Amino acid sequence: MRVPAARIVFSEGDRAQITAAATEILASGQLTLGAYTREFEDAFARAHGAPFAVAVNSGTAALEIILRSVAVAGADVVLPTNTFAATAFAVLRAGGRPVFADVSPDTLALSAATVEAALTKDTRAVVIVHIGGLIPEDIGEVEALCAERGLILVEDAAHAHGSTRAGRHAGSFGAAAAFSFYPTKVITSGEGGMILTADERIRDEALLYRDQGKAGFLGNVHIREGYAWRMSELHAITGLVHLRRLPEFLSNRARIAARYDAAIDDHAGVRRIQVPLGDVSNYYKYVVIPRPGVDRSSLRKELKERHGVGLAGEVYEAPLHQQPVFEEHAGGTLPVAEDICARHICLPVHSDMTDQEADHVLAALSAALRTLTLTG
């Protein structure tokens, strides 16, 4: 049996629906910012209990628009060092200075303590990233710290479609949240992004920014330095059809994760990231941390070559403060993130994964760890 690192699931019925709508869109001539974009926005907002949604053409665009809307230019913005480079690029493009912070070893996300350690007199905003789809259990403390210090909390929810913490959805914790529909994410539109917010002003700013800062779709008065951040109708229908699968994807992914949990908990020398009882992770990633000394590239190779199991990409392989492009923003060492980035692996989770595939992954992991321990 082979289990690939990822599988993008569009059923035959979903493909047929998208194809039929695509034909209709092309015939209509309404190719961008039309009825399907509005329908996708409404459905995505409803799925997350959010008052407003604005669709854009990437998760990176969603982040940059939010950061421009809350005016981070010239200010410091705290973000975790273990995130996708796009989080920090969006800060830079919005004119802010990224300040990389360490994370909690329990959630791989910012905590009040790690944010506090990174604050400067120029900090204006904090971008929290729900790593692997887990909304950190202690996010309330981060919200409280931001409120107390007058900082704007922004969610990079690129991993977290459908996730909840204490009954609250991803997208409801910050002033605004950015989601991504890149193909590897739990819901995809091919390329795309979405802003969720309860703040009418941010919604209005986002509408301006995504379409070249124009005061109206049909007018030619530019009142913001916007960009070509619109979502096309073909992407919108793809995302809309995929979004209808979210409940089914969440329950399949949770079933696989529960199978992994039971086996990992029985395994000496391996720990996993725990999802608190009652909370929902979409398991964008299933994070496992082998004991120190297990060489990740050997483990990866062993799983692939001997067992046909592809590990999913890490979150993240190298922290941003150690990436060449961010050298001038590097700051000091961030020991927890450095350690976890170097050691962890992500077991494959697909939205249509079978129990047999999950069992094969677990058997392969046990065998590979045993082999590496004997030879290492």
Binding site for ligand PLP (CB under 6 A): 58-60, 83-84, 86-87, 129, 156, 158-159, 180, 182, 193
Q: Report, in Å, the least distance between residue 215 CB and ligand PLP.
A: 26
Residue nearest to ligand PLP as judged by C-beta position: 59
* Owner of token pair 């082998």: 290
Q: Angle 59-69/200-210 helices, nearest 10 degrees?
A: 120
Residue number, 37 or 180, with CB nearest to ligand PLP: 180
With CA atoms as reference, report the closest residue to 328 among 73, 98, 80. Answer: 98
* Owner of token pair 């908990």: 265
Question: What is the residue-wise DSSP string for 152-194?
Answer: EEEEE-TT-TT-EETTEETTSSSSEEEEE--TTSSS--SS-EE
Catalytic residues: 185
Q: Report, in Å, the least distance between residue 116 CB and ligand PLP.
A: 22
Give the dihedral sign, CA 360/361/365/366: negative
Residue number, 311 or 365, with CB nearest to ligand PLP: 311
Q: Report, in Å, the least distance between residue 333 CB and ligand PLP.
A: 22
Which residues partner with 291 through β-bridges?
none
Q: Report, in Å, the least distance between residue 343 CB and ligand PLP.
A: 20
Residue number, 65 or 270, with CB nearest to ligand PLP: 65
Residue number, 83 or 107, with CB nearest to ligand PLP: 83
What type of residue sits at position 42? D
First to last CA, the chain: 26
CB 288 within 8 A of CB 344: yes
Q: Report, in Å, the least distance between residue 158 CB and ligand PLP.
A: 3
CB 245 within 8 A of CB 196: no
What the block records as the tokens of 318 is: 């190298």
Distance CA 204, CA 69 (A): 9
What the block records as the tokens of 226 is: 């916007």
Distance CA 275, CA 96 (A): 33
Burial class (CB in 10 A: 0-12, 13-18, 19+), 354: middle
CB 215 within 8 A of CB 205: no
Q: Report, in Å, the least distance between residue 9 CB and ligand PLP.
A: 18
Q: Report, in Å, the least distance between residue 281 CB and ligand PLP.
A: 15
Which residues partner with 180 through β-bridges?
193
CB 348 within 8 A of CB 282: no
Residue number, 69 or 87, with CB nearest to ligand PLP: 87
What the block records as the tokens of 206 is: 């986002």
